[in-house]
Chains A and B, each alone.
Chain A
Amino acid sequence: MITLNSVTKTFGDAANPVRALDDVSLSVASGEIFGVIGQSGAGKSTLIRTVNLLERPDAGTVTVGDRELTALNDRELLQARREIGMVFQQFNLLDSRTVRGNVELALEVVGVDRRERTKRTNEILELVGLEHKAQQYPAQLSGGQKQRVGIARALASRPRVLLSDEATSALDPETTESILQLLRSINKELGLTILLITHEMDVVKSICDSAALMSGGRILEQGRLVDLLSQPGSQLARGLFPLGELPEGNSTVIDVTFVGLSSGRPVVSQLARTHQIDVGLVGAAIETIAGAQSGRTRLELPGTADANAAAINDLRAQGLVVEIVRSGR
């Protein structure tokens, strides 16, 4: 649905260039929620702003749906933007307009007539649960309510894609959760493709189907979360399962990842039985990721090198994802 191909964007001048996007390629499938995560300054905002060409890339192409935006003229671009909704960290609502007026703005811009605007606005305000606030001004709303208006405005003209730049970063945890659930439900009900930016792993964990990790203007890894989980060395997967520090010493330490149903299996006791190793449990985390329960266990294997290797092979043979975090001596 969204494809960025070798997109580059440099800010600053020749003397002090800032490579905000460095040869970024990204692919977001239709109907999924795709999260881009990274530290401050990684280039996340620049990335999402290139998707509706608020920021025009220096090189590379941006395609949304079947339209290559980077090839459009100004008129066509306006048209294309009307099919891409966007919500902002600071909400960016007009103080001069009521809640209803803010939502209607999106329809006025498109040229929808008054009666149709009223009807559509009622519909969309109901969807975000703000029909009772229609006549209020943004200043009279809480942060969460403001963001609901932002979402309503973004959805008013029935876009197929929603872009969200840190939509929940200005909100408290509870409100964040309710906004994330709203995004999830519109994703399901309307079949909307959502590309969201965040610096919180929890956001990715709770609603994303896919994710990309950004750093220094580059995408380090990207993919469906279920695939990333079973990908040894995935930093995103590591972020999803915070397992803490490695234990002292130089024993062998492995991470075993259970994706989906295998979670319940008695792996530890089985290892101890078949390989006579006193497996130590260092850490464990169970998370619901992309709708499926997954877990990761960090185990310490104090056996001989051979016994450990045999144990690891055994686990892999069972289809578990095993990553050797530290190789003991």
Chain B
Amino acid sequence: MIDTTAPGFWPQLFETLLKATGETLYQVGVTMLITLVLGLVLGTLLVVTDRGGILERPFGSLVAGRVINVVTQTVVNLGRSIPFIILMIALIPFTRLILGSAFGVTAAIVPLTVAAIPFYARIVEISLREVNEGLVEAGHSLGATRWQLVSKVIIPEAVPGLIRGFTTTVVSIVNYSAIVGAIGGGGLGDVAIRYGHQRYSVIHIVAVIIVLVAIVQIVQVVGARLANRMSHR
């Protein structure tokens, strides 16, 4: 058992938590930054290259459109259907290949990103599909190019949904980032395992839970506010 009355216990706990929280935020932050870009790209591709989509025939080729669509669908489905814990283990060789090491705070970003991108891509797809077909039509009537349709009409109109979906994704990734702690990914999950599990410190577990709940709450509230502010309906 851990002695909570030992001198320096509380400052040490605080320091441990601060460092772990920093690691978690760093992992989640970098993951979400990459996810924002790639998730948007993949999600948009899913929509525009679909049958009847505005990029059904890239370079004038229906085959190219189908190929891009099917490949994207497969990648996203694959990513979505593999349980995170298995994905994480399966990616160890890949992570080692690109980062030189498969474990550690930064290395954990690889499996987190691979899990987050398909998750967000699906949400992007759903949000973009909700954009009124009539607006795309109006864009066409103005003589907008396909890129203008995506960048000036479809994505801006989907922004509130994209923000809400992003919030949901962040919450999931905070959750996964605790799991990577179990295989040496650092962060709050690591604290829970090392102190809470291996040294039976209830106080560490409780502290980690409080911090995680606080992070999730803040993300939710900020996301909802932002989405509402961007929605002019």
* CB under 8 Å from chain A, chain B span 111-142: 132, 134-135, 137-142
At the interface with chain B, which of A59-67, A104-112, A181-189, A249-257? A104-112
B148 contacts across to A, CB distance below 8 A: 108-109
Size bracket, chain A contacts: 20 to 34
- In the complex, the answer to whether A92 meets B137 with C-beta atoms within 8 Å is yes
The contact of A153 among B137, B140, B142, B145, by CB within 8 Å, is: B142
- In the complex, the answer to whether A92 meets B232 with C-beta atoms within 8 Å is no
- B211 CB to nearest chain A CB (Å): 36
B11 contacts across to A, CB distance below 8 A: none
- In the complex, the answer to whether B142 meets A95 with C-beta atoms within 8 Å is no
- A76 CB to nearest chain B CB (Å): 11
- B183 CB to nearest chain A CB (Å): 42
- In the complex, the answer to whether B141 meets A81 with C-beta atoms within 8 Å is yes
B157 CB–A CB distance under 8 Å: yes
- In the complex, the answer to whether B232 meets A82 with C-beta atoms within 8 Å is no
A229 to B141, CA, bound (A): 34
- In the complex, the answer to whether A96 meets B156 with C-beta atoms within 8 Å is yes
B144 CB–A CB distance under 8 Å: yes
* CB under 8 Å from chain A, chain B span 2-28: none
B153 CB–A CB distance under 8 Å: yes
- In the complex, the answer to whether B143 meets A92 with C-beta atoms within 8 Å is no
A272 CB–B CB distance under 8 Å: no
B96 CB–A CB distance under 8 Å: no
B134 contacts across to A, CB distance below 8 A: 88, 90, 92
The contact of A109 among B132, B152, B233, by CB within 8 Å, is: B152
- In the complex, the answer to whether A139 meets B233 with C-beta atoms within 8 Å is yes
Interface contact tally, CB-CB below 8 A: 70
Given contacts A88-B134, A92-B135, A95-B232, contact A81 B140 (CB under 8 A): yes
Residue of B nearest to A52 (CB): B141
A220 CB–B CB distance under 8 Å: no
Residue of A nearest to B148 (CB): A109
A37 CB–B CB distance under 8 Å: no
A154 to B135, CA, bound (A): 13
B135 contacts across to A, CB distance below 8 A: 92-94
A-B contact pairs, 16 of them (CB 8 A): A78-B145, A81-B141, A86-B141, A92-B134, A92-B135, A92-B138, A94-B135, A94-B153, A95-B157, A105-B139, A105-B152, A109-B139, A109-B142, A109-B143, A109-B148, A157-B142
Residues in B lying within 8 Å of A, measured CB to CB: 132, 134-135, 137-145, 148, 152-153, 156-157, 159, 230-233
Q: Which 3 A-B pairs have the closest CB atoms?
A: A81-B143, A82-B143, A86-B141
Known: A88-B138, A92-B138. 15 other contacts (CB 8 A): A52-B141, A54-B137, A81-B142, A86-B138, A86-B141, A92-B132, A92-B137, A95-B157, A95-B232, A96-B156, A97-B156, A105-B142, A109-B139, A109-B152, A157-B142
Residues in A lying within 8 Å of B, measured CB to CB: 52, 54, 78-82, 84-86, 88, 90, 92-97, 105-106, 108-110, 137-139, 153-154, 157, 163
